[in-house]
Amino acid sequence: MIELTAAQVAAATGGRLQADPDVMVTGAVITDSRDAGPGALFVALPGERVDGHNFAATAVKAGAALVLAARELDGLPTVVVDDPQAALGDLARHVLATVRGRADGSAAPKVVAVTGSVGKTTTKDLLGQLLGPEAGAGADADADAIIVPKGSFNNEIGLPLTVLRVTDATRYLVLEMGADRVGNIAYLTGIAPPDVGVVLAVGVAHVGHFGSVEAIARTKGEMVPGVVDGGSVVLNADDQRVVAMASQAAPGTTVQTFGTIPSADVRAENITVDTAGRASFTLRVARPGDADEQRADVVLGLVGAHHVSNALAAATVALRLGVTVSDVAQRLSGATALSPHRMAVTERPDGVTVIDDAYNANPDSMKAALRTLAVMSGRTRRSVAVLGEMLELGDGARAAHDEIGRLVVRLNIKQLIVVGDGAYHIHEGAMQEGSWGSESIFVPDLAAARSMLDESLEPGDVVLVKSSLGAGLAELGDHLSMALTTKDNNK
């Protein structure tokens, strides 16, 4: 973060200063006292199980220069605010505006924000690889030149923490914006108004909170009016709800589309998927004002045909920011998966292939992962789907899980293992669709699934592990990716 005095932090957050106004914050902004170091600002967030205020003294002892808190803390340098989480957002807004305001023209950081029901993290990771190496992705480049959060720092806490990493050396700030309620995206774009805002897709993720797909679309659409004056909006032409958001763009906003339909500005043609589940396509680009279209071949290293859409979104942003078509194609072809538990493929020494996609799940991503499993197993390898609950689907949860079970049968997945009571209706759907005998098995918990898989997996099997993060199958994905089967270990 840029250096700030305690007085400046208080002014930015509307807080009451209980510290020397000249105390300097020179380190990182943190919410975990274990991350404290010299000059840090510790934000004491209250939680359901842990209250950050109880760890403020520990953070200061470890070197934190200042605490942002909801109450006075005896003997500790503190800025007292009504709501530390809201103050965190206020501080991030101030820091970004300050850096933008004192930058010289093209030196101002370009903010790219990505939202959508699926694909946010992968697209964010791809952008980090497309906008380097000269922007900071190279090993010898300035680490502050491009900021891309690891994992999914996409909410009211994670996003401000990412924004607060900005310095005067930052050229690109890539942000992921998630939402589980109407107004979330508007709030996040209010903290970090993007130069380029991306909407990937509208699905049913978190529909239990939103109440309807229409409400989800309205929330994702908050990205469009949230871009800076004269900014750009990148929309998925293959999703009718997304492309309709163009009508919300303010005068002077550039709208560009990506997809597979002919009208998309940046599109994929001649898509093929190999037996490893990796897609190839021709990238076809019509830049605004260009008389001739440009083409380049892309061979993705990411597993899953659904990543074509994510790649197109990232390509559209990079092209908008001045990367050439040939460089975009080359960098997409060299891009790798950076975040764990997202279609992470492990080839075990015993011949078992593990596809770990257990970070998140909704009906759309579950269907895409199952189709990839079917492609990778082909006609010669046994396909095994280990599926857990898809959370936050509201009243439609039973029908959604039932539909996944039926799809498993239609895709001719050889073995289905359904884990946990919340996912039971996947098993029920498979049975209703025609699965019989031991083709579909329900187990109550991770321990039972682990025991069964350790005993039953054979060389040549392709096994997919997928659920919402809260269902806990990521632990099983880690186990399967690292371990040989019990039978092999006992030889």
How does pLDDT run across 22-33, given as a tens digit for each residue? 999 999 999 999
Percent of the chain with pLDDT over 70: 93
Contacts of residue 61, defined as CB under 8 A and 6 or more positions apart, other chains included, come to none
3-state secondary structure of 234: strand
SS3 content of the chain, % helix, strand, coil (to 5): 40, 20, 40
Alpha-carbon distance values, 70 to 23, 78, 261 (Å): 19, 9, 52
- Is 227 one of the annotated binding-site residues? no
The answer as to CATH 3.40.1390.10 being correct for domain 4-82 is yes
pLDDT > 70? residue 123: yes
Q: For position 140, what pLDDT does the model report?
A: 34
- 227 token code pair: 């871009």
Phi, psi of 118 (to 5 degrees): -140, 150
Provide the pLDDT for residue 485.
41
Q: Do 166 and 2 form a contact (C-beta atoms < 8 A)?
A: yes
Q: At what angle do helices 397-410 and 363-377 cross, to 10 degrees?
A: 10
Mean pLDDT computed over 126-140? 66
| Mean predicted confidence (pLDDT) in 133-141 | 43
Beta strands in 290-401 (DSSP E): 294-303, 344-347, 353-357, 383-387
Band the pLDDT of 205: cuts 50, 70, 90: low
Q: Report the CATH number of the 103-334 domain.
A: 3.40.1190.10
User: In the predicted model, what is the mean pLDDT of the chain?
Assistant: 92
Residue 120 assigned ligand-binding role: yes
SS3 assignment, position 41: strand
Give phi and psi for 57, each to the nearest 5: -65, -40
Residue 137 has pLDDT above 60, yes or no: no
As a whole-number percent, the residues of the chain with pLDDT over 90 amount to 83
Residue 332 near residue 126 (C-beta atoms within 8 A): yes
Determine if residue 119 is labeled as part of a ligand binding site: yes
| Partners of 78 in beta bridges | 18, 67
- Residue 268 predicted with pLDDT over 70: yes
Please compute Rg for the chain using Cα positions: 24
Residue 134 has pLDDT above 80, yes or no: no
- Mean pLDDT confidence for 149-161: 89
When pLDDT is averaged across residues 173-192 and rounded to a whole number, the result is: 94
Coil vs helix vs strand at 406: helix
The CA distance from 373 to 375, in Å, is 5
Flag whether pLDDT at 225 surpasses 50.
yes
For residues 364 and 215, give the distance between their C-alpha atoms in angstroms, rounded to a whole number. Answer: 17
Q: Answer with the residue of higher pLDDT: 211 or 318.
A: 318
Which residue has better confidence, 151 or 137?
151
Q: Kindly indicate the confidence band of residue 180, based on its pLDDT and cuts at 50, 70 and 90.
A: confident
CATH class belonging to 344-489: alpha beta
Longest dimension (CA), the chain: 73
Which phi-psi region, left, alpha or beta, contains residue 270 (left: φ > 0; alpha: ψ -120 to 50)?
left
- Assess contact for 468 and 389: CB atoms under 8 A: yes
pLDDT band at 209 (very low <50, low <70, confident <90, very high): low
- Give yes or no for residue 292 having a pLDDT over 80: no
More confident residue, 342 or 237: 237
Whether residue 487 has pLDDT greater than 60 = no
Is residue 217 within 8 A of residue 117, CB to CB? The reply is: no
Lowest average pLDDT, out of 124-128, 133-137, 320-324, 361-365, goes to 133-137
CB atoms within 10 A of CB 261: 11
Please state the rounded mean pLDDT for residues 394-406.
Answer: 95
**Residues 215, 218, 221, 222: is their CA dihedral positive or negative?**
negative
For residues 184 and 208, give the distance between their C-alpha atoms in angstroms, rounded to a whole number.
15
Beta carbons of 480 and 490 less than 8 angstroms apart: no
On whether 116 is known to bind a ligand per the annotation, the reply is yes
Contact 101, 200 (CB under 8 A): no
pLDDT of residue 151: 73
- CB of 39 closer than 8 Å to CB of 24: yes
Identify the three-state secondary structure at position 202.
coil
**With 70 as the cut, is the pLDDT of residue 475 above it?**
yes
Output the pLDDT for position 103: 82
Cα–Cα distance measured from residue 246 to residue 481, given in angstroms and rounded to the nearest whole number:
43
The mean pLDDT value for 116-143 works out to: 74
Q: What are the tokens at 396?
A: 């439609």
Mean pLDDT for the stretch of residues 261-267: 95
| pLDDT of residue 138 exceeding 70 | no
Element (H or E) spanning 62, and its range?
A: none
Asked whether residue 490 carries a pLDDT value surpassing 50, the answer given is no
Predicted confidence (pLDDT) at residue 191 exceeds the cutoff of 50 = yes
Q: Is 122 annotated as a binding residue?
A: yes
Residue 135 pLDDT more than 80?
A: no
Output the CA–CA distances (angstroms, integers) from residue 194 to 38, 190, 258, in the order listed. 31, 9, 18
The string of pLDDT tens digits covering residues 62-90 is 999 999 999 999 999 999 999 999 999 99
| Domain spans of the chain, in order of start | 4-82, 103-334, 344-489
Q: Average pLDDT of 188-211?
A: 87
Asked if 202 and 242 count as a contact pair (C-beta separation under 8 A), the reply is yes
Res 340: pLDDT: 85
Please count the other Cβ atoms lying within 10 Å of the Cβ belonging to residue 170. 25
The annotation status of 326 as a binding-site residue, yes or no, is no
DSSP codes of every residue in 77-127: -EEE-S-HHHHHHHHHHHHHHHHHHHS-GGGSPEEEEEE-SS-HHHHHHHH
Residue 121 annotated as part of some ligand binding site: yes
